[in-house]
Amino acid sequence: MLIILVGIGMTTWQLFENPKAIQGHLYAAKSYLFGWRMFLLVLLITLWPRLMAWFGQHYRWSSEKLNFALSWRWRAALWLAVVEVGLIQGVIGTFLRHLFQD
């Protein structure tokens, strides 16, 4: 649902503004967006035990399944950090560009 809303928002934005101006606005907001993503990552790490306990209670998970979900806290955080550094910050793209540069 969130992806659809973001898509609608971006499409509407492009109707009213030049794509070059949009790119400039996004570049200017890059540090703020990074801060927002890091805030959400820290929030997820901090609230993971409560969130899993709520899911476990709401969906009547067994204690074994709840312990398994709780054990995935740092794995999920690591994967989100890898995605952030590798894809969003462009480390993988920069590495590949330098690797295959003429």
Task: Convert the pLDDT of each residue in 20-31 to its tens digit.
Answer: 888 898 889 989
pTM value > 0.75: no
CA dist., res. 17 & res. 71, Å (int): 46
What does the pLDDT average to over 64-86?
Answer: 93
Cβ-contact 88, 35 below 8 angstroms? no
CA dist., res. 10 & res. 61, Å (int): 39
Residue 66's SS3 state is helix
pLDDT for residue 69: 95
pLDDT for residue 102: 58
pLDDT of 52 strictly over 90: yes
CA dist., res. 94 & res. 101, Å (int): 10
Which of 7-16, 35-44, 60-69 has the weakest average pLDDT?
A: 7-16
Output DSSP code: residue 87.
I
Q: Structure tokens of 77?
A: 């955080």
pLDDT for residue 41: 93
**Ramachandran angles phi, psi of 60, nearest 5°:** 55, 55
